[in-house]
Amino acid sequence: MISKPKGTYDLYGQKAKQRQYLDDVLASICEKYNYEYIKTPVFEASEVFHRSVGIDSDIVSKETYDFKDRGNRNLTLRPEGTAAIVRSYIENKMFGDPKQPKKLFYNANMYRYERPQAGRLREFSQFGVELLGSDDVFADAEVISLAYNIFKILGLKNIKINLNTLGDEESRKNYREALIKHFKPHINTMCEDCQKRLLTNPLRILDCKVDNNHEAMQTVPNILDYLNDESKNRFLKLQEYLDLLEVEYEVNPGIVRGLDYYNHTVFELELVNENFGRSNILCAGGRYNNLVEKLDGPQTPAVGFAAGLERVLLALEEEKVNIPINDSIDIYLGYVNEEEKETALYLTQELRLNGFICETEYLGRSLKSQFKSADRLNAKYIIILNSDDLKDYQVKVKDNKTKEEQKVAINDLVDYFDMHM
């Protein structure tokens, strides 16, 4: 038997309906915030991710699915959404659109070669938003509050924002030097990755899972002590806006988001639940003012976030949030002979095109078996087709809850169900 690849999964049945509900809610909320849907290719030129995420990052050095196509081009399966969105923003000259800033959202599969675990697979679904073209901290507040409100609307109560800032380029440079000075005496006792990161991007050391409990990690300099006045004031203004929006947050200097393209605001949204384990971070993001330029576009400030949807569904399950799923159909059409079968074929189409969820018989079973099938499908009504009734252009309609029956003219069926549904 051929099995699915490790780190992937099939989505069907109730789980598929839950996911479909989640997708619909996310799209609906983004529409209210005036974010437009965007879709990018599942694979891109490798340099899109190598240049943006960073060639020495764990994502690129250890996790990307890189391959050559038959034209000997270097391609990579999309490991994250932001870089691909920025590539599209530049290539399609969205910066020239008179409607600015560009507010975009995506919901797509991503691919990373990492050890599969609950809520973190090799093929996973990521939802995210990007606001490109504004450097106003107002935009940061909107993006963070959007993430916060999404999870509130979904029904998660025990959530909070971990908030921090990397400051501007000057502040980040000062902090980088402080980290090098701090870690240098200890670096030989740290993992190989941390040793490489010391000079390339020491902020990534703070994300290390291997040396998380190393003594040097316990006395790391506080990034807030290295902010210049402009960065401090910006961060204070952001907190003022979030207070105004009643977003619950906690300033956490340990949130650094080591990817190369971040500056100023960084944040993570956490589910406060001890039973949820290490996967309690549901989404993360921040400001990236230099990424568009880094990928050969015009200087464009931007801010955004991304959330793994498998992890979100696990959180909803852990918090026992009821996901409303339509697990019923409107109408089941039962028949016995060929004449009735042809009418069933016609009527199911007519009723479906008028907005009703309809099902009928495909296996040639008895009428008794069809009634059982209607019950399994939680049909609200059953249309019982009978050759004698059809001669009078009528059908028998049964309310499957009250069990009451009445004859209805075929031409009046749509109006009848409009009134009774």
Query: Which runs of consecutive H residues, i.e. helices, occur in 333-397?
Result: 338-353, 367-376, 387-391
Higher pLDDT pick, 26 / 220: 26
Q: How confident is the model at residue 30 (pLDDT cuts 50, 70, 90)?
A: very high
pLDDT reported for residue 207 = 75
Percentage with pLDDT > 70 across the chain: 96
Q: Do residue 259 and residue 387 come from a single domain? A: no
Q: Do 309 and 411 fall within a single domain?
A: no
Which token pair is 322? 């009821």
Within-domain flag for 76: yes
C-alpha–C-alpha distance, residues 147 and 166, integer Å = 20
Which tens digits make up the pLDDT trace of 71-91? 999 999 999 999 999 999 999
Q: In what order do the strands lie in the sheet with 394-399?
A: 358-360, 329-334, 379-384, 394-399, 405-409
> How many domains does the chain divide into?
2
Contact 329, 352 (CB under 8 A): no
For the stretch 370-394, pLDDT in tens is 999 999 999 999 999 999 999 999 9
CA-nearest of 407, 400, 406, 405 to 421 is 400
Please give the single-letter amino acid code of residue 166: L
- Is the pLDDT assigned to residue 313 strictly greater than 80? yes
Residue 202: per-residue pLDDT: 82
Q: Which residue has the higher pLDDT, 403 or 209?
A: 403
Q: Which pLDDT belongs to residue 215?
A: 81
pLDDT of residue 214: 84
Structure confidence by residue, pLDDT tens digits, 269-278: 999 887 776 6
Q: Using pLDDT thresholds of 50, 70 and 90, give the confidence band for residue 56.
A: low
Asked if the model's pLDDT at residue 217 lies above 60, the reply is yes
Res. 183 pLDDT band, cuts 50 70 90: confident
- Do 297 and 352 lie in one domain? The reply is no
pLDDT digits (tens, 9 = 90+) for 224-247: 988 999 999 999 999 999 999 999
Is residue 345 in a domain?
yes
Is 309 found in the same domain as 333? no
136 and 236 co-located in one domain: yes
Residue 401 has a pLDDT of 93
Q: What is the pLDDT of residue 419?
A: 93
- Can you say whether residue 186 is alpha, beta or left, with left for phi > 0 and alpha for psi between -120 and 50 degrees? alpha
Give pLDDT, residue 279. Answer: 62
Please count the other Cβ atoms lying within 10 Å of the Cβ belonging to residue 270: 20
State the CATH number of the domain containing residue 343.
3.40.50.800
* 133 and 73 inside one domain: yes
What average pLDDT does this structure show over 302-323?
A: 94
Question: Is 181:199 a contact under the CB 8 Å cutoff?
Answer: no
3-state secondary structure of 209: coil
**pLDDT at residue 189 is higher than 60:** yes
Distances from the Cα of 321 to the Cαs of 11, 53, 145, 178, 359, in angstroms?
20, 35, 21, 44, 30
- 189 lies in some domain: no
CA angle in degrees (0–180, nearest 5) for 239-249-79? 100
Which CATH number fits the domain that encloses residue 88? Answer: 3.30.930.10
pLDDT at 187: 85
% of the chain residues with pLDDT over 90: 72
Domain assignment present for residue 257? The answer is yes
- Asked which of 283, 318, 353 is the last residue of a domain, the reply is 318
258 has pLDDT over 80: no
Does residue 333 sit in the same domain as residue 403?
yes
Residue 96, pLDDT above cutoff 60: yes
| Contacts (Cβ under 8 Å, ≥6 apart) of 14 | 325, 327
Res 421: pLDDT: 86
Q: Global pTM?
A: 0.89
Domain membership of residue 413 (yes or no) is yes
User: Are the C-beta atoms of residues 37 and 105 closer than 8 Å to each other?
Assistant: yes
Instruction: Supply the range of the domain harboring residue 406.
Output: 329-420
Cα separation, 165 vs 184, whole angstroms = 24
Q: Are residues 371 and 344 part of one domain? A: yes
**In this predicted model, what pLDDT tens digit does every residue of 124-165 receive, in sequence order?**
999 999 999 999 999 999 999 999 999 999 999 889 999 999
Same-domain status, 368 and 255: no
What's residue 209's pLDDT?
A: 74
What CA–CA distances, in Å, run from 388 to 115, 165, 370, 391, 416?
64, 76, 19, 5, 21
Same structural domain for residues 383 and 235?
Answer: no
- Looking at the domain assignment, is residue 184 inside a domain? no
Residue 161 lies in a domain: yes
Query: Of 318, 345, 362, which marks where a domain is finished?
Result: 318
Say if residue 313 is in the same domain as residue 370.
no
Q: How confident is the model at residue 62 (pLDDT cuts 50, 70, 90)?
A: confident
Section 350-363 average pLDDT: 97
Give the mean pLDDT of the chain.
91
Q: Which residues pair with 36 in a beta bridge?
A: 104
Q: What confidence tier does 208 reach under pLDDT thresholds 50, 70, 90?
A: confident
pLDDT tens per residue, range 1-16: 999 999 999 999 999 9
pLDDT above 70 for 54: no
Instruction: Indicate the residue among 265, 296, 318 that finishes a domain.
Output: 318
**Domain presence at residue 385:** yes
pLDDT score at 57 = 58
pLDDT for the residue numbered 61: 61
Does 103 have pLDDT greater than 90? Answer: yes
Question: Are 298 and 339 contained in the same domain?
Answer: no
